[in-house]
Amino acid sequence: MISNEQYVRLSLEANLFFLRIVKEHAIFAAASLPAKYAPTSAQFVSMKNSLERLLSRTLALSHGNISSEVMNSSELVTNLTLPAEKEVQALTGIPVNTAITVQETNLGYRDFYRQGGNIVQQVSALNREIIRQVTSAINFQSNLLRQILTCKAFSFVYPTNLDHVTREARAYVGLLNSLENKQAEDISVKGIIEQEIFWNEIMDEHAKFIRGYLDPSETKLFKTADNFADRLDALEAATVALRNNPTNLTTVTNESRELVTDLRNFKRQGTEGLVACKIKAIMPALLADHVTREANHYLRLLSTFKA
């Protein structure tokens, strides 16, 4: 069982990271649909608006209640998040509440734990509402994926990408459900292995999506992304093998940290290139910043696992 202090901190940290991720999934999905599916795009935008409101509520509770490790990890926002948001808004016409990003950039980390103001009850109410809305988003995206796979709908997003974002959202809901039951994160060897399997698969798919979204003329970047995909395929297989031979966990964790650091740097450079309009691709800069933040989140987890 975790303490109230841990419950508040872990809940808010999870919500600050994942709510932004899930609301950006809605932006990318809305932007990827042809004109015929304008009502579906509008539903994604409405979903995005609801998630932004929840993110604002999270921010209001977070001052002084999150760790310096999370605040300094660049998993919540980066110095490129705001310009990338402005760009995606200008290019797609989808509104983005950039004020949230400005507020989050100035968010202070944990100087104190606010025990007053019924913060535990406020965080619990927030978590329950997030679980409800994110579960609704999962169902909506899963239904769209089923329609695409049966040739009843079309999107310019890869079907695997839609499956990818629903898996991330399910992991988020699972984490919040555990926190609502006051359960500590599983940091046993088995628990760490499952986390590394999940995130190494996510990183592998990122490399493959980036490869697919690059213009064919970007041969150097394509080869780099392809090389990352090959290396991550091998790492993913090694991580899955830990289920039967966990003695190699430390070695695989170190390999994951090294490779994901390199991948994160590649993603960050890609974001810079897209913001500056120096890379030809069918992905917005916000998507590149999005996957950079996910890599930063995983790198922080890997540091925790190593410790």
To which residue do tokens 């110095």 refer?
79
Task: Give CA–CA dist 70/72, Å, rounded.
Answer: 5
pLDDT score for 49? 97
- Three-state DSSP at 194 gives helix
> How is residue 37 written in tokens?
């599916």
To which residue do tokens 């490790």 refer?
69
Q: Mind listing the pLDDT tens digit for each residue in 240-298?
A: 999 999 999 999 999 999 999 999 999 999 999 999 999 999 999 999 999 999 999 99
Cβ neighbors of 252 (< 8 A, separation 6 or more) are 196, 235, 238, 239, 242
Share of the chain above pLDDT 90, in %: 88
Q: Measured between alpha carbons, how far apart are the two ends of the chain, in Å?
A: 21
pLDDT score for 112? 53
Task: Give CA–CA dist 193/199, Å, rounded.
Answer: 10
Q: Mind listing the pLDDT tens digit for each residue in 268-281?
A: 999 999 999 999 99
Q: Count of alpha carbons within 13 Å of 73, Cβ hemisphere only?
A: 26
State mean pLDDT over 102-110.
Answer: 77
Q: Mind listing the pLDDT tens digit for each residue in 176-235?
A: 999 999 987 778 899 999 999 999 999 999 999 999 999 999 999 999 999 999 999 999
- Kindly tell me the sign of the dihedral angle through the C-alpha atoms of 232, 237, 243, 245: negative
To which residue do tokens 């999270």 refer?
58
**Confidence band of 139 (pLDDT split at 50, 70, 90):** very high
**Confidence band of 31 (pLDDT split at 50, 70, 90):** very high
Q: Mind listing the pLDDT tens digit for each residue in 15-29?
A: 999 999 999 999 999
Residue 110 or residue 4, greater confidence: 4
pLDDT score for 185? 78
Q: Which domains does the chain have, with CATH numbers?
A: 1-185 (1.20.1260.120), 186-307 (1.20.1260.120)
